[in-house]
Amino acid sequence: MIDSQIPVIQDKEHDKEKELEMLKGLKTVGEITAPNPRMTCRNVNVYYSGVQAIFGVSLDIAGNEVIAMIGPSGCGKSTFLRCLNRMNDTIEGCRVEGEITLDSENIYGSKIDVVPLRAQVGIVFQKPNPFPKSIYENVAYGPKIHGLTQNKAELDEIVERSLIKAGLWGEVKDRMDKPGTGLSGGQQQRLCIARTIAVSPEVILMDEPCSALDPIATAKIEDLIDELREQYSIVIVTHSMQQASRVSQRTAYFHLGYLVEVGPTPQIFTKPRHRLTEDYITGRFG
Amino acid sequence: MNRVAVNETISVMKPKRAIETVSKGLRKRYRAERRFRMLGLAAVIASLLFLTIMFISIFGNGYTAFFQTYVKLNVYFDPETLREDTLARADYPGLVKKTMRAMFPEVQGRRDKRNLYKLVSSEAAFQLRAMVLRNPDIIGQEIPVWVPADDDIDMLMKGHIRRDVPESERRLNDKQLAWLDRLSADDRIQTRFNWTFIRSGDSREPELAGILGAAVGSFLTLLVTLLLSFPIGVAAAVYLEELAPKNRWTDLIEVNINNLAAVPSIVFGLLGLAVFLNFFGLPRSAPLVGGLVLTLMTFPTIIIASRAALQSVPPSIREAALGIGASKMQMIVHHVLPLALPGILTGTIIGMARALGETAPLLMIGMVAFIVDVPQGFNDPSTALPVQIFLWADSPERAFVEKTSAAIIVLLGFLITMNAAAVMLRKKYERRW
Ligand SMILES: Nc1ncnc2c1ncn2[C@@H]1O[C@H](COP(=O)(O)OP(=O)(O)OP(=O)(O)O)[C@@H](O)[C@H]1O
Ligand SMILES: [Mg+2]
């Protein structure tokens, strides 16, 4: 009984190596370019302490679109997402190769300062992480440090506008000085979204923003994403294929660090062209 | 093939058998838990017991030092001895003696007279002098004055010298006892709160020795320590934790900081002697040097505590700050440091409390000298509380025994205040996330 388990594990390892071998040189199926790209990624490789996690990914992110990233756990969705605003810089031993541009400027260029970059490419994390400060302070922090406002009235207005957009204003307008950490999980996540949009980024990265939320909060955030699309480009990582099909226009399927297939969302979910994509969305693994 | 293996595993593990095994082990588990709880409780009780014994013995020995026996003398400020032109240099000890003789006219013989004079402290003469200088109008009047009794009298009144032993084994002879009894009968003996102990520096006379010199010395020393070790410690911790690359050099630094924290404090004293006194020529016995030496000892502790506090700030807060475009410095100053502050402050106060109780390094830089004056600045010679305890514990007079315990009470008072401050700061700034 125990004996039979060892080959199982070995098999898996072997499988992964074999699969990586098979994937070598894989060319992404589908149209990676977009007509009016906000961001472009070309041949992106990411290494964690020398171990490669992303293999030659090329992808455009268009203006005013929501692009969903799906794939099995550990396939590199978060890693790729974090490349787009250089959050990977903060990880010890992480190295990024290739070219990523924002509005035709290489964000890994030597002239680029990460501070304004992150003001332009905002990020919402999987786990809500409000600052342990008041709700107001949470939203006002970004505009404050970037000097976006001249006076308190303007700041108040940005805070209110951001909270309204994030669909949280009604719930918190009477307790703006209460700590943001005292909100419910779903409210915290919307607070984090409000905090991100308060600095008016051009692109918003969302790493499984709804994974800790109930269906009602999830629906609220999905509605919000839909609205935000009018002004921003949104890259969303999700494990829910229903969510991907509800909110996104394009979908990218990642597998073991490779971008296997990308295309219009309806096509990916109804007529996937790559076998791996088909296996994943039909639930054969992952 | 994998599927098959998994199915097999499940079918072999019948749920009924599992729960039986669990129940069998349960009693044993609970017993182990009870045992562990008893052990813990016993440990807590034992430590509380020792603490209580220590407090009781120290307070029992020491509280009497906060009281002092006073004797009422009817002093005739004789215009004969107190000439206007030499008021400051007049023979005040003689005035005290004359007063005593007047109160006990029957005492004759040099020996007895000397014993009579020994009833009051030598402070009495200074007290009379101060009275006269403050108000020369009292010359020519007879005024009742309360003066401190000699330490032996004080000890007798507090019951530390026994009357029922043979005269030859007593520090006070039978005649002295008789005089005392007469003074008592005349309501001329009183026990009062000992302001001298709180308001003055050290003295050779136990009834005049006070704690203030040592307390101020400790305060100045700790102030130097705090002003140096807190910024150095926090800055070093922030640099190592947040800014420095993690490589072999920073590992080496970390190991050495831990080593530094473990070095016996006397070594820092020797270092201070060699560097601050002999090389830089700073003054001996000065709180400045004491503070420098204690800084060497304290800042590794603060670094270690601050690093632990910084590490405990969740990375999600850092990511949140960086994610909306805060610079690294903004992230640290606005978010990480405020969250780490309770831990940093606790570590600092614990380090300071340790520095407060430190004796050995101060001995090496001369803060062990007999110093009467209360220090006025960082370069004045001074002692510190633990050193004062050491000095008094070493004195032969019986009266210094209670002073020693009283000094320990004062030191413990400072320590408890500091630790309470640490707890309160932690409570105040504690945030949940
Ligand atoms: N900080 C890190 N250090 C080393 N390896 C990492 C690190 N973060 C991720 N990896 C590795 O990189 C690969 C991709 O991880 P990533 O977190 O991007 O996956 P993911 O697609 O987001 O998975 P999930 O859906 O579970 O969030 C994984 O093999 C993971 O082990
Ligand atoms: Mg992820």
- ipTM for the predicted complex: 0.87
Q: Which residues contact B266 (CB under 8 A, 6 or more apart)?
A: B360, B361, B363, B364
Interface contact B325-A1, CB threshold 8 A: no
Q: Which amino acid is at B95?
A: L
The average pLDDT across A194-220 equals: 88
pLDDT band at A1 (very low <50, low <70, confident <90, very high): very low
Residue B357 vs residue A7, higher pLDDT:
B357
Select the more confidently predicted residue: A11 or A46.
A46
Q: How far away is chain B from the Cα of A8, in angstroms, using its nearest Cα?
A: 6
Q: Would the pLDDT of B137 be above 70?
A: yes
- A74-83 pLDDT, tens digit per residue, is 999 999 999 9
Q: What is the pLDDT of residue A24?
A: 81
Q: Are B358 and B229 in contact (CB under 8 A)?
A: no
Minimal CA–CA distance to A44: which of A89, A100, A82, A92? A100
Q: Global pTM?
A: 0.81
Between B68 and B17, whose confidence is greater?
B68
Mutate to test the interface with B, among A90, A91, A189 (most CBs of B within 10 A): A90
Domain covering B212-429 in this structure, CATH number: 1.10.3720.10
User: What confidence tier does B329 reach under pLDDT thresholds 50, 70, 90?
Assistant: very high
Round to whole Å and give the CA distance between A118 and B324.
6
CA–CA separation, B245 and A233 (whole Å)? 34
Residue A8 has pLDDT above 50, yes or no: no
The residue of chain B nearest to residue A114, with distances taken between CA atoms, is B325
pLDDT at A7: 39
pLDDT in tens, A251-268: 999 999 999 999 999 999
What distance in angstroms lies between residue A72's CA and the mean position of ligand 2's atoms?
A: 10
Q: CA B279, CA B231: separation in Å to the nearest integer?
A: 25
Whether residue B128 is predicted with pLDDT greater than 80 in this model: the reply is yes
Asked if residues B141 and B77 have their Cβ atoms less than 8 Å apart, the reply is yes
Separation between Cα atoms, residue B313 and residue B305, nearest integer Å: 13
Q: Is the pLDDT reported for residue A13 higher than 70?
A: no
* Exposure b/e, A251-277, CB count within 10 A at least 16 = b: bbbbbbbbbbbbbebeebbeebebebb
Nearest alpha carbon to residue A272 among B253, A264, B330: A264
- Cα of A77 vs centre of ligand 1, distance in Å, is 8
Give B1 Cα–ligand 1 centroid separation in angstroms.
29
Task: Tell me the average pLDDT of chain A.
Answer: 87
Rounded to a whole number, what is the largest CA-CA distance in chain A?
A: 71
Ligand 1 midpoint to CA A78 (Å): 7
Fold of A16-281: Rossmann fold (3.40.50)
Model confidence band, residue B22 (pLDDT cutoffs 50, 70, 90): confident
The answer on pLDDT for B149 being more than 80 is yes
Cβ distance of B320 and A85 shorter than 8 Å:
no
With 0-12 / 13-18 / 19 or more C-beta atoms within 10 angstroms meaning exposed / middle / buried, residue B322 is buried
* Domain chopping of chain B, boundaries: 2-63, 66-205, 212-429
Helices within B324-398 (DSSP H only): 328-330, 337-356, 360-364, 385-393
Which of A15-29, A109-123, A126-140, B351-365 has the least mean pLDDT? A15-29
Q: What percent of chain B has pLDDT over 90?
A: 48
pLDDT value for A281:
87
Task: Locate the ligand 1 atom nearest the alpha carbon of residue A208 and give its number.
Answer: 27
CB contact at 8 A, A184 and A161 = no
E strands within A153-220?
Answer: 203-207
- Is the CB of A75 inside a 6 Å radius of any atom of ligand 1? yes
Chain centroid offset of residue B237 CA: 28
pLDDT of residue A216: 83
User: Rounded CA gap, A264 and A30, in Å?
Assistant: 9
State pLDDT tens for residues A122-153.
999 988 999 999 999 999 999 999 998 889 99
Chain-centroid distance, C-alpha A184: 22
Contact A115 B326 (CB under 8 A): yes
> What's the mean pLDDT when you consider all of chain B?
89
Contact yes or no for B77/B140 (Cβ under 8 A): yes
Judge whether residue B226 has pLDDT over 80: yes
How far is the alpha carbon of B6 from chain A, nearest alpha carbon, in Å? 8
CB-based contact, A216 to chain B, within 8 Å: no
Per-residue pLDDT for B347 more than 60? yes
pLDDT at B311 > cutoff 70: yes
Report d(CA A85, CA A251) in Å as an integer. 20
Pocket test for ligand 1, best of A16, A79, A260 (most atoms within 8 A of CB): A79
pLDDT band at A166; cut points 50, 70, 90: confident
pLDDT in tens, A46-74: 999 989 999 999 999 998 999 999 999 99
CB A60 within 8 A of CB A42: no
Between residues 170 and 189 of chain A, which touch chain B (CB distance below 8 Å)? Answer: 179, 181
Say how many C-beta atoms besides its own lie within 10 A of residue A86's C-beta: 18
Chain B residues with beta carbon closer than 8 angstroms to that of A179:
431
Residue B243 in this model has a pLDDT that exceeds 70: yes
Q: Is A115 on the interface with B (CB under 8 A)?
A: yes
- pLDDT 10s digits, B394-415: 988 888 999 999 999 999 999 9
Q: Tell me how close the Cα of A29 comes to any Cα of chain B, in angstroms.
A: 31
pLDDT value for A9? 41
Q: CB-hemisphere CA count at 13 Å for B260?
A: 20
Residue (of A92, A110, A96) closest to A47 by Cα position:
A96
